[in-house]
Every structure is written in structure tokens, then in C-alpha cells.
């Protein structure tokens, strides 16, 4: 495993290794002078290592056929990211006398997430990386057994969880829908594409995404010329006449007032992929498809991201997804806090995570921190095309009196979270 060197050590790699070697020689010389066998720092730390246990809690997803054969059917999205995070934590832990253990709790589709969480609490685990949708996540956070735990939301983008439904034992690593919509909105306004048409799918999640887009338009001075619900049935695209049906239906569905960009809200990937190049007017597509705001994308190469990609691909045998990244970041946040706090005590680690001294280097060009008002992880949001990173928000020109990252999502005066 590649050792992750903290950003604060800016010496060249060769200089760092030479310095480590000189310290080893000095320790060995002293040991030999005393008639003792030389012991490496790694061996000594391992002998005294304390174990910090982290649970990864998720539930089996219902099988879903991907829109394209280019996308594999994943059964371990998120889990592989958590595994890599533990491996990275252990790389540092060897030098700090800390060891990290991942307890994997994958609940069957007909199983009880709450019961699994209670079992983890009974086993003494106080850090829960929760790859769960909103409803089961709220249920877990509200458990009496979870009062002393710290839960990391790595999947649910619901803004309600950062507002009226916030909880003192809940931190959010995945960006909220408002963060994603604001990131996209800033870029579109920067491009002076300020007339947006919105097409939303039939699910409550699609409606919430569309509402976040409307909020972003109001915030940044754009206009939603029309919001339309998707009511067409794509049918089976792989039959002989499938492309003919799609080619005729999509233009009809996208006859909208004049606009600069078509924003699609289709979180369950039912129709959004079919819109590009088939719209009534020749317009770019953005939102859940096309130009996508996301926590992570396989096309991201800046700030050392290729290093993380290569290590993940070697470990998992596939590309890292956004769910993998947020799970990795959650586990790494625990490891970083434990290292810098110099403690394995869950209360001390949790306090450090929420404190002013915590920050996480996470391959996004800026140190990431948690907002004290709602527990959301501040972070840049990537704007990714299918094969290239297009931009990263926040954009130039959008100012903030504190952190520019707080121009994305709910700022302190806007939050309804009362912890």
C-alpha cells in the first residue's frame, strides 16, 4: 500500500526517505551500543497499537439493469471505498500506534437496518459509515442505542436531513441536493446561460432535485422558463425499433420555451440518458445527466486524484464511484481525527472532527471541514462530462464572507437545523 504523506510535509520524497533512514540508523546504533536488537518504529507501534473499529452499514439494493453495457452492475458501491479508507488509515496508523478495523454490515433487502445498527452498538462500535437512503438513515440516527455513536451519511442527499431533520449524532459527507444544484447553477451563470428549462422524473427524489434547481436559479439570478414532468414511456430500447421510438418521443417531450440549457432531474436513471442530441432545440443537457455535478467522477485527474483512482482500481478492480468516494472520505475523516487528536477514544475523536483544527485532504484542491451548524462536509463539487472534467465549483465571482465553499448549499443564516 502506498504511504499517504500529509500535505504539511512538503520536502521532496527522496529527502523524506533519507531523513527516515537516518533516524532508523541512529536508533539502531543506540540499541546496539546497549546490547539490544534494533527495533523499527513500525514494529514497536504495532506491538502497542490500539484498535479503532468502524462499521459500514448498508442494505442490499434492488437489482437495476444499467442503461448501457458500458456501466457494470455494481453490488459493492460504497463498500470498496470504505475498505480502501481503512487501508489508508492503517498506513498512517503503523506509525502512530493505531489500528483500524472495518466491520461490514450488509443488510438483506427484507432485513431490518435498525436491528443491524443496534447489534453494532451492542458490539461497542461508535463510528457508523451509513450508506443508506433518507428513511432508514433517520431511523438509525433516532435509535436510543445510537445516542453515543457518530453516524456518517455517505449516500442520502436530502436537504431535509440538513435542516428540520438534522441530528446531533449525524455528519453528512455526501453533498446535499442544494449543494449539487448550486454548483451547477454557478457554472451556468458564469457561462451566462441563465435561461433554464427543467424536466423532472416521477419520483419524489426527482421532484426534490428540481426544487433545488429552482432554488439555485433564484439565488444566482437565473430563470427557469418552464418545469415539465416526464410522462413518456421509453419502452425497450434494445428491440429493433427502440431507437426509432426514442428519436420521435424525446423531441415531442422537449418542446419547451426558448432556453439556454435543459436541466434533467432523473436520479433513478430512467430517461435522462436519452435526452442528449435528441432535444427539440439544439441545447446542452445538464443535471443528473450530461453535465453532472457530483462528489466524485472517474474523469477527475487534478490534485493527485489519479493516485486515488489507481489505488482504488488496484484494490477493487473497477472505477471509483461517488458512493465509494464518500465512504472513503468518511473513513479517512475518522482516521485523520484519531491521528491528530492522538486518541482512540470515540468522544475525543468526535470532538476533534467537529472542532476548528480538523481538516481532511481529499484530492479536491482544498482542505475539507464540517459545518458546525448542520454537520455537512464543506467540499468543492465536480462538474463532469462523460469523458472529461468540465469545471469545479464554487466558481470565480461568487463571494462569501467566510468560506467560498459555503456558497454551495445551506449557509448558516439559511439553515433550519437546531441542534
324: closest CA among 66, 82, 60? 82
Task: Please classify residue 49 by burial: count the beta carbons closer than 10 Å to its beta carbon, then call 0-12 exposed, 13-18 middle and 19+ buried.
Answer: middle
127: closest CA among 369, 374, 340, 348? 348
407: helix, coil or strand?
Answer: helix
Please give the helix or strand (H or E) that residue 307 lies within, else none. helix 305-316
CA atoms within 13 A on the CB side of 300: 29
Which DSSP symbol is given to 195? E
In whole angstroms, give the CA distance from residue 146 to residue 142.
7
Q: What is the pLDDT of residue 63?
A: 80
Extract the residue ranges of the chain whose pLDDT is less than 70.
1-47, 234-244
H-only helix segments in 160-270: 177-190, 204-220, 242-253
In whole angstroms, give the CA distance from residue 295 to residue 175.
7
The model's pTM is 0.87
- Copy the grid coordinates of residue 177: 441536493
Beta bridge partners of 51: 99
Q: What is the pLDDT of residue 2?
A: 31
Q: What is the pLDDT of residue 305?
A: 97
Q: What is the pLDDT of residue 11?
A: 39
CA atoms within 13 A on the CB side of 87: 15
**Strand order from edge to edge, sheet including 150-153:** 98-107, 50-59, 127-131, 150-153, 170-172
Amino acid at each position: 500500500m502506498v504511504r499517504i504523506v500529509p500535505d504539511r510535509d512538503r520536502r521532496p520524497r527522496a529527502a523524506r526517505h533519507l531523513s527516515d533512514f537516518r533516524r532508523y540508523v541512529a536508533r539502531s546504533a543506540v540499541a546496539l551500543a546497549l546490547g539490544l536488537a534494533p527495533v523499527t518504529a513500525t514494529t514497536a507501534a504495532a506491538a502497542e497499537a490500539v484498535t479503532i473499529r468502524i462499521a459500514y452499514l448498508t442494505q442490499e439494493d434492488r437489482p437495476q439493469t444499467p442503461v448501457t453495457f458500458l456501466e457494470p452492475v455494481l453490488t459493492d458501491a460504497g463498500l470498496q471505498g470504505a475498505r480502501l479508507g481503512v487501508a489508508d488509515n492503517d498506513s498512517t496508523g503503523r506509525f502512530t500506534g493505531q489500528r483500524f478495523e472495518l466491520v461490514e454490515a450488509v443488510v438483506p433487502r427484507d432485513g431490518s437496518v435498525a436491528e443491524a445498527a443496534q447489534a453494532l452498538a451492542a458490539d461497542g462500535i461508535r463510528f457508523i459509515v451509513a450508506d443508506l437512503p433518507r428513511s432508514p438513515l433517520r431511523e438509525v440516527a433516532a435509535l436510543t442505542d445510537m445516542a453515543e455513536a457518530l453516524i456518517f451519511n455517505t449516500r442520502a442527499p436530502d436537504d431535509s436531513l440538513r435542516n428540520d431533520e438534522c441530528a446531533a449524532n449525524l455528519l453528512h459527507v455526501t453533498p446535499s441536493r442544494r449543494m449539487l444544484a448550486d454548483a451547477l447553477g454557478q457554472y451556468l451563470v458564469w457561462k451566462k446561460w441563465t435561461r433554464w428549462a427543467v424536466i423532472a422524473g416521477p419520483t419524489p427524489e426527482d421532484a426534490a432535485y428540481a426544487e433545488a434547481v429552482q432554488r439555485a436559479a433564484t439565488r444566482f439570478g437565473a430563470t427557469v422558463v418552464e418545469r415539465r414532468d416526464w410522462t413518456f414511456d421509453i419502452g425497450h430500447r434494445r428491440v429493433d425499433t427502440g431507437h426509432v421510438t426514442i428519436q420521435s418521443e424525446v423531441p415531442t417531450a422537449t418542446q419547451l420555451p426558448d432556453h439556454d440549457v435543459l436541466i434533467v432531474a432523473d436520479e433513478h436513471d430512467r430517461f435522462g440518458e436519452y435526452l442528449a442530441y435528441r432535444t427539440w432545440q439544439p441545447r446542452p443537457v445538464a443535471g443528473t445527466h450530461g453535465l453532472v455535478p457530483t462528489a466524485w467522477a472517474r474523469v477527475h485527474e487534478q490534485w493527485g486524484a489519479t493516485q486515488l483512482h489507481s489505488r482504488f482500481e488496484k484494490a477493487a478492480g473497477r472505477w471509483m464511484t461517488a458512493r465509494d468516494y464518500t465512504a472513503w472520505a468518511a473513513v479517512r475523516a475518522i482516521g485523520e481525527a484519531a491521528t491528530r487528536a492522538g486518541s482512540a477514544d470515540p468522544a475525543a475523536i468526535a470532538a476533534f472532527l467537529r472542532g476548528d483544527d480538523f481538516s481532511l485532504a481529499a484530492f479536491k484542491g482544498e482542505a475539507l471541514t464540517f459545518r458546525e451548524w448542520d454537520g455537512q462536509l464543506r467540499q468543492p463539487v465536480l462538474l463532469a462530462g462523460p469523458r472529461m472534467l468540465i469545471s469545479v465549483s464554487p466558481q470565480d465571482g461568487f463571494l462569501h464572507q467566510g468560506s467560498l465553499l459555503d456558497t454551495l448549499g445551506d449557509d448558516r443564516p439559511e439553515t433550519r437545523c437546531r441542534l
